[in-house]
Each structure stands twice: as C-alpha cells, then as structure tokens.
Amino acid sequence: MDAETADGVATITFSHPKSNSLPGVTLAELAHTVTAAGKDSEARVVLLRSEGSGAFCAGASFAELQAITDADAGKKFFMGFANLIIAMIRCPKLIVTRVHGKAVGGGVGIIAASDYAVAADGASVKLSELAVGLGPFIIGPCIEKKIGLGAFSAMAIDADWRDAAWAERHGLYAEVHADIAGLDAAVAKRAGMLKTSNPEAMAQLKSVLWEGTEKWAELLESRARMSGTLATSEFTSRAVGRASK
C-alpha cells in the first residue's frame, strides 16, 4: 500500500502479487487510507489505483476464503469489503479511480464505490461470486446504485466477462480510453480539474451522489454475515478450491 498527497491530489495505490487481489490486511489498509485522505487538509481529490500492467483487481483472496472455518471468521473477512465501501462513499472528497486492467468481484465493487472511474479499453469486468458458491451481496448495493438493477442482475447471474464498452454504456465507467497513455492523460486531466474546484461544492455533490445510503453500514454488515455463512458450506469450499487451482 502506498499513499501520498501532492499538489492537491491524494494518490492511493494498492497491490498484491496475485493479480492485485484483496486479502483482509489490504482491505483494512485501504479503508484506513481512504478515511485518512478524506481528512487530509492538503488533499482536494482522491486518486485510487493499483500497480502493474495486469489486472486492476482480482477480488477476494482465495487463500483466505479457503481458510475460513466458521461463520464468525467468514463475517470478519467479508466485513473488510463492507468497511472499504463505507469508507469510500463516506469520504467527503471525490474519488477518481484509474482502472488499467480487468476487475473481478470485489474489484468491481471498488469501481462502483468510486465517484468517477476512468478505464482502459481492456478493463473488462465480471462478478464471479455465484460461480464459487457465493453472491455479490456486499458489493451489490453500490453496483446496483451505479448501473441499475437490471444490469446488476445480469452481471450477478451470468458470471461472465463484460467488456469496457459495456461497463461504460451502463455507467460503471465514466470514460474508456484506447490505451494506457490515453488513460493516464485522462486521469491527470480529471484530477487536475477537480483539485481546483470548490471543496465545499464537491463535498455536497458527493453527499448528493450517495444519498439514500445512510443505512448501508447495517445493510452491509448483514450481507457480510450472509456471505460468511455461505463461505463455510461444503459447496463453496469445493468451488473455491477448484477456482484457485
């Protein structure tokens, strides 16, 4: 995890050797860092990105999923996703997310919880949870809010790839660019515009964008409990084992 604030932009970069997947420690660090950026008086806008040239984010850590042995441990793991989503939507500063590659499961949740996502053409997305005996329960509310129930239902039930054009057409991405150079130029332009905008107006815009989410902390906790219980089932254990090979 790397975080720095320069010239009004708080840049947060996460990484993991397994396709930028999200083990519990990374989820906790991300939530803490996003919250800190929201309180940083030197930051006007938050830029979220991941490292490398492969996947933007492969979602949950399969190793940690396989290690879950009881519902309480399962809930604790999935609360990492819940806490990160809450931190992102409660952050008083607009979050711009740079999506350079594919995103799966929780990675799609991060994109949806952003306020403005800019992607490269190869940044396909999919919700693979049903295929491993789970469901996109925690990330579902923010994805549904961003792209609508119909598109979310299609993603959740048909756990296959959607290309970046589909994601842009349905509102998950605000912009899609042909290559990384174009992506980086667009991200820099957007961050540059926002860092000179009225902080109070941006904070109020953020509040409007996430209106109706006031009870999401309780909602996502109940979803984490649901996911944690499912993670202990024999079906899910076998499915996660197959998927991790």
Task: Walk me through the domains of the chain, giving residue ranges and CATH numbers.
Answer: 2-195 (3.90.226.10)
At residue 152, the pLDDT reads 98
At residue 203, the pLDDT reads 97
At residue 66, the pLDDT reads 86
At residue 244, the pLDDT reads 64
- H or E stretch at 33: helix 24-39
pLDDT in tens, the chain (245 residues): 899 999 999 999 999 999 999 999 999 999 999 999 999 999 999 999 999 999 999 998 888 988 898 999 999 999 999 999 999 999 999 999 999 999 999 999 999 999 999 999 999 999 999 988 999 999 999 999 999 999 999 999 998 999 999 999 999 999 999 999 999 999 999 999 999 999 999 999 999 999 999 999 999 999 999 999 999 988 887 877 777 66
At residue 102, the pLDDT reads 98
DSSP reduced 3-state for 7:
coil
- H or E stretch at 21: none
Q: Which two tokens stand for residue 237?
A: 């254990």
Using only the alpha carbons of the chain, give its radius of gyration.
17
Strands (E) in the chain, as ranges, are: 2-6, 9-14, 45-50, 95-99, 103-104, 116-120, 125-126, 175-177
At residue 237, the pLDDT reads 78
At residue 245, the pLDDT reads 60
At residue 234, the pLDDT reads 85
